[in-house]
Amino acid sequence: MSAPDLLALRDRIEAVDRQIIALVAERLRIVEGVAEAKLASASPFRDREREEALIGRLRAIAVAQGADPHQIERMYRIVMDMSVARQEQAVRERADVPLRVAYQGVEGSYSHLAAQRRYAGRAGGALLAGHDSFRAAADAVSAGAADLALLPIENTTAGSINEVYDLLAPGTLHITGEVISAIEHCLLALPGVRLDELRVVISHPQALAQCHDFFARHAHLVARPEIDTAGSARRVAAVGDRTLAAIASSAAAAAYGLEILARGIQSSAGNATRFVEIAPRPAPLADGVAAKTSLVLALADRPGALGEVLVRLAARNLSLTKLESRPIPEAPFTYRFYADVLGHASSAPFAAALDDIRPLTTELRILGTYPTAG
């Protein structure tokens, strides 16, 4: 038996390598189109869940072909990083610059849906990026990885989202807009599961609080908090436990293959969440736009200081729409106040009111003036 022709084998390998490189290049050209599609639909720029699902399929293909699945995974993670880098490059080379938007949660979360509605169709497009926490989304803005973040700050049923107020306290980020979004909570479970089979329902603490009447009517259900609504839906799908359900959006049900057992389970029919845009710098506001200004202030140590602040705002015909107190960690049992006031901070009445109340405070900052959403 003659020995294999080494040169011929090497030529065959080189020919295969050329095909591999050509296919990788073709993949990179395709993802440029993916970037354009994501910009047009305001979809998240990087979908980690989809990437992990793809890796799982590729590992299975590798096993079927007799290849090492660990090495194939390693190779494709590099390819996916190359694909994301190509998408970013394609975006940077556009004549118009897209808006990079951070939010908390995964695909199908209420923050993601609110961001899609707000930025879809925007000239120049929008790149949406989900983060594990409110702080991570805010940090992306501070670090320059995102142009702004869209974060929920209060709900008509469950009240204020204190963590977001605390993120604004240092004054390094500014509110540049607000969005009010109606929220319909759905009970999601594995296909074919009945309500009486369920025992545990997981979701974000705010979502659970907004559905307290539903839990009162179904005493066999135990509410367990998780970090995200849509992330809870994804967990139900991944775990495969017929006794486990999630409270999330109908979009999350579609995204993760779950069945909707009940719609509109929020306690209030008018349940809505107010989101704020936060950015590194204030945004200019055109003349004639109905404006709202958010303030943060700490009061001087004197009796009746808060009452005097409210009286002096009212004397300038400024309407207070929100007042929230939060503890100051470095000064036990003292508080900052966050106030939303209708009006532009640069208008004569508002500027005069700030001068009026400044002597009553030890800290007074404008968090932002922006168009009011209602």
* Contact between residue 296 and residue 336 where contact means Cβ atoms under 8 Å apart: yes
Architecture of 186-265 per CATH? Answer: 3-Layer(aba) Sandwich (3.40)
The model's pLDDT over 260-284, given as tens digits with 9 standing for 90+, comes to: 999 999 998 888 999 999 998 888 7
45 is catalytic: no
CATH superfamily of 6-92: Chorismate mutase (1.20.59.10)
* Contact between residue 217 and residue 197 where contact means Cβ atoms under 8 Å apart: no
Same fold, 186-265 and 287-371: no
Burial 45-76 (b: 16+ CB within 10 A, else e): bbbebebeeebeebbeebeeeeeebeebeeeb
Which residue is catalytic, options 157, 176, 229, 273? 273
CATH topology of domain 287-371: Alpha-Beta Plaits (3.30.70)
Q: Residue 374 is encoded by which pair of tokens?
A: 């209602």
Whether the pTM exceeds 0.95: the reply is: no
The domain locations on the chain are: 6-92, 99-182, 186-265, 287-371
Which residue bears the tokens 């390998």?
13
Mean pLDDT along residues 152-158: 89
The model's pLDDT over 230-255, given as tens digits with 9 standing for 90+, comes to: 999 999 999 999 999 999 999 999 99
Task: Indicate the pLDDT class of residue 19, thresholds 50, 70 and 90.
Answer: very high
CATH number listed for the domain at residues 99-182: 3.40.190.10
Task: Indicate the pLDDT class of residue 315, thresholds 50, 70 and 90.
Answer: very high
Which residue is catalytic, options 45, 134, 275, 350? 275
Query: φ, ψ for residue 187 (rounded to 5)?
Result: -95, 120
The model's pLDDT over 20-67, given as tens digits with 9 standing for 90+, comes to: 999 999 999 998 888 888 878 877 767 778 889 899 999 999 999 999
Start-to-end CA distance of the chain, whole Å, equals 86
CA distances from 344 to 170, 253, 292, 306 (A): 22, 41, 6, 21
Q: What is the pLDDT of residue 374?
A: 65
Report the C-alpha gap between 147 and 141 in whole angstroms.
Answer: 6
273 is catalytic: yes
Q: What is the pLDDT of residue 226?
A: 94
* Contact between residue 130 and residue 113 where contact means Cβ atoms under 8 Å apart: no
Task: Indicate the pLDDT class of residue 93, thresholds 50, 70 and 90.
Answer: low
